[in-house]
Structure 1
Amino acid sequence: MKNLDVKVLDKIVKTTIATVEKSKTQLFDIYEAAKVEMEKVRRDVERIKSETADAIFKVDEFEKKERRSRLRLMEVSRNFRKYAEADIKAAYEDTNHVQLELAMAKLQEQNLRRQRDDLELRLKALKNTVEKAESLVSQVGAVLGYLSNQMGAVVTQIETLQASQIFGAKIIRAQEEERRRVAREIHDGPAQAMANIVFRAEVCERLVDVDLGRAKNELKDLREQVRVALRETRTIIFDLRPMTLDDLGLVPTIRRVLETIKERCSIFSEVKVLGEEKRLDTYVEIGLFRIIQEALNNVEKHSKATTIWLRIDFRPSVVSAVVEDDGQGFDTASASGNESFGLMGMRERINLLGGELTIKSEIGKGTLVFVTVPLKE
């Protein structure tokens, strides 16, 4: 799988399907040609049968005529004194003429019968060819349909598997990046503050016996530093897993995120809750929160927006959320093939929740993210 090129496989599949399609076309041409030839031979058979019947009737007529002429010749020959020489000669010539015509009619009948038999054998062979060609066209059509469906599904599955592998690799890289980010934030924030607190505590300890007033001032500064360290620690904890999500639910936690965004980059927000706000299953709340959080992060980082509109609609069987901004937007067509990890993560989460995710955006007209998640009855 590592060295498998989906494009090469797709080309092989398409070439195979095209070859089978070409074979089907050629078979259909053979079927049509055989069918046309069969119809032509059938007409010839009908014509020859009609001519043969006429020839048989003609032979019968000549045989009757020949019998009458022979009887006439016998009568004239026996009574030669009664008939003149001219009558005898006429009777003889008439008999020869009738016999000649009878022979020619019989020869024509034989030829027509032979042509009829040959054409009937040929018609039978053509019927067999047409039936086989028709059956082959049907079978090749069925095979072509099967190949189109199954091979297309195989390529899709391979693409899905490779996409999953790529997504898995991105997840690992993202996890490492997240760990580095958290480590850096702890090192630059609470860790530095705590180190400074330890140092200031030692200073206060020494000043207590020397300068009590200065010691009190140092303790005030120390208390403020502890508050700053605590606030930074809570911010890091909130980014990792907001405790308000477990304690208060989805909407209060999202309001907290929006307040933080406003403090950081002055993006104002409006939140509207429709339906009866309620607690959701834990996996639904965290999944939906992460999707909305990622949408808000994208607004903060990329949109250059001034306002965010957020609407959450609680219904008995579904919960939906809309995140809309008035930022610069982007071209969804060009971005669809090069999605960031954040967008891929949003789609992966919505797939796990069995919901739907729609992103609409135009350059200069902002972005709208619409999320729908079904709820258990």
Structure 2
Amino acid sequence: MEKLDTKTLDAIVKKTITAVEASKNQIYEIYEAARNEVENVKKDVERIKQETINVIFIVDELEKKERRTRLRLMEVSRNFRVNSEDDIKAAYDDAKNIQVELAVARAQEQYLRRQRDEMEIRLRSMKETVAKAEGLTTQVGAVLGYLGDQMGGVVLKIESMQQSQLFGSKIIKAQEEERRRVSREIHDGPAQAMANIVFRAEVCERLIDIDMVRTKKELADLREQVRVCLKETRKIIFDLRPMTLDDLGLIPTVKRFLDMGKERSGIISAVRVLGEERRLDSYVEVGLFRTIQEAINNVEKHAEASVINIVMEFRRDMFIVTIEDNGKGFDTVENVGSESFGLVGMRERITLLNGDLQIKSVKGTGTKITIKVKLQ
């Protein structure tokens, strides 16, 4: 499976956030421009409304004048013998001029009414645009907040998934290595010893009727070889699956493992139990023992320690283990993200047990590992 480049992914996430922020700014600029335009259109609508009112008033006045001039023209026309030709012409001109003014005013009124209606429609549309832009600004702001809060953890989550996938492949590899190691140990240890035992037994068969003293010596050597073979076989069995874990439980198995470690490395160890000791579920005991076993192996291989102290605490709903050594320690800050396969395996085992594993270590001051597992 192709490994994802988390740095590239992080850059993509940051670019995405930057692009969304730019979009938010653009949307806000559109919102501000639309809002300003709405205010301007409002002013134009009010102005046109006022102009329309003024024109309507003018039209009303002209209609009154037009009616008066029409009546005057009718009166002058009926009494043409009394009124002079100039009077009739003046009345006619007045009526005609008022009609022209009235027609112009009415045309202006119609124009202003249409312009007012169009401006009001435009104003409603622009108000909808402003509302949408405001809503988009709010939504984009919420998205940015979500991205800021959540996307940072996406890279960490993917890194964790990659680490889990890598751990899975390493488990398979480790299983094969373990099979190879056990096969080699059996071949080089008990298998060779048993082959030698068979040979010694044949020698004893031949000597038993010839040299009894030598036969007894050969049998004594044979017994010692069988004892060594049995010891090596039991060690291999213990490494594969300690029988004491099923028969006696976690604490006796850990104590025995520490005793065996003292024989190997000379490290002094002590186990202290707090609370009321009790058996845990089988899978919990196995997971805890393998984690403790790996921690002690790491101390033997890397810590250069002389003392290991283990405290096991039984609580009502929790089991706590602390493993502390006086070794050379290491800088946990420098080693973040670059833990060894052993440490990753320890974390994975405890996570599967619905627990938590914390490592505190400083160069030159030793290491303290705290394991907390919730009990059902």
In the alignment, what sits opposite 1:25?
A: 25
Structure 1 residues 1-377: aligned runs within 5 Å: 2-3=1-2, 5=4, 7=6, 10=9, 14=13, 17-18=16-17, 21=20, 22-43=22-43, 45-46=45-46, 120-138=120-138, 140=140, 162-376=162-376
Residue type of the alignment partner of 1:344 = V
Deviations 1:301-354 (A, max 9, x none): 111111111111111211111111111222323433233322222222212211
Give the deviation of 1:193 after TM superposition: 1.6
**3-state SS of paired residue (1:332):** coil
**3-state SS of paired residue (1:202):** helix
Q: Would you say how many aligned residue pairs link Structure 1 and Structure 2?
A: 373
Residue type of the alignment partner of 1:307 = V
User: RMSD in angstroms over aligned alpha carbons?
Assistant: 4.8
| Identity fraction in percent | 62
Deviations 1:280-321 (A, max 9, x none): 111111111111111111111111111111111111211111
Q: When the two structures are superposed, what TM-score results if normalisation uses the length of structure 1?
A: 0.77
CA contact (8 A) 1:332 1:361 kept: yes
Question: CA–CA distance in 2 between the matches of 1:343 and 1:4?
Answer: 21
Residue type of the alignment partner of 1:311 = V
Deviations 1:141-169 (A, max 9, x none): 56667888998898777655544432222
In the alignment, what sits opposite 1:96?
A: none
Question: CA–CA distance in 2 between the matches of 1:4 and 1:119?
Answer: 60
Residue type of the alignment partner of 1:169 = S
Question: CA–CA distance in 2 between the matches of 1:313 and 1:7?
Answer: 40
CA contact (8 A) 2:34 2:126 kept: yes
CA contact (8 A) 2:13 2:151 kept: no
In the alignment, what sits opposite 1:90?
A: none
**Structure 1 residues 48-57 or 123-132, which shifts more?**
48-57
CA contact (8 A) 1:304 1:328 kept: yes
Unmatched segments (≥5 aa) in structure 1: 65-101
**3-state SS of paired residue (1:338):** coil
Give the deviation of 1:358 after TM superposition: 1.4
CA contact (8 A) 2:6 2:159 kept: no
